[in-house]
Chain A
Amino acid sequence: MAHPRSRLAPDATIELAHGSGGKAMRTLIEEVFVSAFDNPDLAALEDQALLGMVELAAQGDRLAFTTDTYVVDPLFFPGGDIGTLAVAGTVNDLAVGGARPLYLSCSVVLEEGLSVQTLRRVVESMRRTALAAGVRIVTGDTKVVERGSADKLFINTAGIGVVPRGVSISQANARPGDVIIVNGRLGDHGTAVLIARNQLALQSDVESDCQPLNGLVAAMLAVCPGIHCLRDATRGGVATVLNEFAQASHIGIRIRESAVPLREEVKGACEILGLDPLYLANEGKLVAVVPPWAAAGVLAAMRSHPAGEHAAIIGEVSEEPAGTVIMDSVFGGQRVVDMLVGEQLPRIC
C-alpha cells in the first residue's frame, strides 16, 4: 500500500496520543481506517452513519442487529487473522438469521506499543473481507490503553442487515423429521489456532475456515425460504449449536459420526490431544435444519457454492429424547453429545 503525504512513519507504533482525540488520532483514523474502508459514510467523519430507511425497507420487513467482540491469540494464524474474523463473524451472525448483511461498525482497542504496520495488516484483512461479503464499514471508534491493559488489539464490530419478508429462522423451529446439514469440514479454525499457538510441537497445513457465509445462506434461502434453523458453529462447535437447537425446539437430534466431514489432519490432532472435533471452533461453518422435502435441494445448492463444497447431511431431528443430541458412533454404539461444562481441556492419558 502506498501512503502519499503520510504523516505516520512506516515503523510507527501506537502511542496513547493516538487515542487522545487530537491530531494524532485524526491522522491514525484517516490514514489507516478511512483510507482502507473507503466509503463516503465513513469519510464524512461524523459521529454517526446515516442509513436511508427507504432503501432498507425495500429489501425486507425487519432489521437484524448484532454485535460481537474479537480477541484472539495469536492475531495472525494460517487462513486468517483477527480482522478477517471481526468482519466474517459479525456478517455470519446476521446471515444465519436470514438477513442480508449491509453495514458494519468497527471499534478497536489498541495496546500502547502495537506497531502501526500490524494494525494496517489487520485493517487490510477487514477491508478485503468486507468487500467479499458486500458490506460497508460505516462508523467506528478508536481507543488506546496503556501497555499491559489489553493484549495488542481487540476489535468490536456491530452489524445491521435486512431480513426479507417471509423468512423466519429460529433455533426454536426444528421439527421431527427435519434434516441436519453442515456446510463442510469441521474444526479447522480451532485446530489452526491451537497449532499456531505453537505449544504443541505439531505441524500441519490446516488453515482456519474463516469466511463470510452470507452468499451461501442467500443461495440456500433461494431454494428453500422456509429453512427452520440456521446457526454458525463458532465457539463450542457444532455440538453446542445442536444442543441449543434441541433445547430450544424441544426435540431430539440424532447424528451419525460416519457422516461428519473432517479433515484427516484435524482427526489426527484430536486423537493426539484427546479433543472432540464436534466441540472445536469454526469460523466459516454453519448448521442448518431444513424440512425433509427440501433437504436434497438445499444440499445441492450448498455444494455448488464455494463455501459449501463439502456440505453434508449429518443427521435428523426426532421427537425423543427431547433436548438431547445423540450420536451413532462409527462403531455401532451410541453416545450423548452434551454441552461442555467449561472449556475443552486436553486429557492426560
Chain B
Amino acid sequence: MKYMDEFRDPSKARSLAREIRALVGRIPRARQRPLQIMEVCGGHTHSIFRYGIQQLLPDEVEFIHGPGCPVCVLPMGRVDDCVALARRPEVIFTTFGDAMRVPGSKMSLLKAKADGADVRMVYSPLDALQIARAHPDREVIFFGLGFETTMPSTAMTVLEARRAGIGNFTLFCNHITIIPTIKAILDSPDMHLDGFLGPGHVSMVIGTRPYGFIAQHYHKPITVAGFEPLDVLQSVWMVLRQIAEGRCEVENQYGRIVPEQGNAQALGAIREVFELREFFEWRGLGSIDHSGVRLRAAYAEFDAERRFPVPNLKIADPRACQCGEVLKGVIKPRDCKVFGTACTPQMPLGSLMVSSEGACAAYYNYGRIHGASA
C-alpha cells in the first residue's frame, strides 16, 4: 500500500494540474471548444470518479468515457442467453460478480438465481473449473467476459480443462477486443475526439504497437495510461503535450507494467484457443465487425454455444436511449432525453447507467454535487 500511496500524492497532483493548465493555454483550439480526451477503459473511468480527477482539470479539458466497461457494453440478448443457459437444470452457471446485475430483456442473472437457477459468483475462471471437478454430474458453464485483460485467464483455463480431461466444463464466450471498437468510434462521422488514454491492463497483454493506426491514420495522440490518479493526470498531460506540439504518437505512461511488445505467453494462449467472430453486437454501439472472439473449432467441446441451445436473439436497445452518442462523446450524459428521468441507477434503461463505471451512472452522482452548490 505504501507503494500505491505514492501515486496518490495530492501535492504532486496540484503541480501536475498547474502544468496541464499551462499546456492548455498553448493550444489555440481549446479556446473554441473543450478538448475531448477519451479514456477507453472502465478502470480509468472508475479512477476519474473515485478521485474526482475531472475537478482538478481546467474547463477546457473533458473526459469522454469510452466503451471499456465490459459490463456496460453487454447487449441484452446476450444476458438473455446467459439466463437461458443458467436455467437448464443440469447447469451450474458461473460468473464474475458484477455481471450478475446487468438487466436482460426480462431479467438479470441475480433474478434468475433468486428464481432457482444455480448461478454462482467466481473470482477467476479457474474457480469455475474447480466447481466442474467437484460436480462431475453437472454441466459447469463459465461466463467469459471482458477485453484482452481477462481473455488470457479464460484461454489458460480452457487449455487446463483439455489437459486435465474435464468434460463437464464449457465456456460461454463473450470476450471482446478493443482495437476494432476504437476504430469504429474513430470512423463515426460525428466524432470530435482530440486524443485517447489507452487502456493499461489490455496493453499489458497486447502491448502498445496495435495502437499505431490511431496516430498514423487518424492523427490522434494516444497515451497508454496506468490507473492510479497520478497516472491518469500525467497521461492527460502527455496527450495535451502532443497536441500542443502538433505530434500524433503512441506514448506509454504505464511503462512499469506495459511492455511495447505485450505478453507473448498470454497472446499465445489467446491465439491458440480463440478466433475472431465476423461481428459482435455491443450495447449502445450496435454491431462491430471482428470485435468479438469465439472458441476455435478445435476446442468446440468446451464451447457452450455449440454444446447447448442458445436462443441468440437480437434485442434492440431501448429506443429512447442515446448511449451510443454518449459513448462517442457526441452528447453529454445529461443531454440524453431519458437521463435521470426514465433512466436512473435504480432503474437503468441504458447500459451506461448499469455499472458504476458507466458514464451516465457516474454523471448522475457527480451532478448532484454541483447541482446543489450552483
Contacts and interface: CB of A to CB of B under 8 A. Distances in A.
Nearest to A268: B1
A336 B101 contact: no
A320 B368 CA distance: 11
B150 A349 contact: yes
Interface in B351-374: 357, 365-366, 368-369, 371-373
B369 A336 contact: yes
Contacts of A73: none
Contacts of A271: 1, 4
A341 B53 contact: no
Contact of B52 (A331, A347, A348): A331
Interface residues of B, number: 48
B98 interface: yes
Contacts of B149: 349
Interface string A311-331: 000000000111010100111
B37 to A, nearest CB: 17
Q: How large is the interface on A (under 10, 10 to 19, 20 to 34, 35 or more residues)?
A: 20 to 34
Nearest to A264: B1
B70 A332 contact: no
Interface in B31-74: 41-43, 46, 49-56, 70-71
Residue among A267, A273, A349 facing the most chain B CB atoms (10 A cut-off):
A349
Interface stretch (B8-16, B285-293, B332-340): B8-16
Contact of B201 (A334, A335, A349): A349
Contacts of A252: 372
B226 to A, nearest CB: 14
Nearest to A332: B10
A200 B123 contact: yes
A199 interface: yes
A345 interface: yes
Given A321-B368, A335-B50, A347-B98, A330 B10 contact: yes
Given A341-B345, A341-B346, 18 more contacts: A199-B122, A252-B372, A267-B1, A268-B1, A321-B371, A324-B368, A332-B14, A333-B51, A333-B53, A333-B56, A335-B51, A335-B52, A335-B365, A335-B366, A338-B365, A347-B98, A348-B70, A349-B70
Interface of A: 199-200, 252, 264, 267-268, 271, 273-274, 320-322, 324, 326, 329-336, 338, 341-342, 345-349
Going nearest first, the 8 A-B pairs with the smallest beta carbon separation are A333-B52, A321-B372, A345-B97, A331-B51, A336-B365, A348-B96, A346-B97, A332-B10
Interface of B: 1, 4, 8, 10, 13-14, 41-43, 46, 49-56, 70-71, 96-101, 110, 121-123, 127, 145-147, 149-150, 201, 229, 345-346, 357, 365-366, 368-369, 371-373
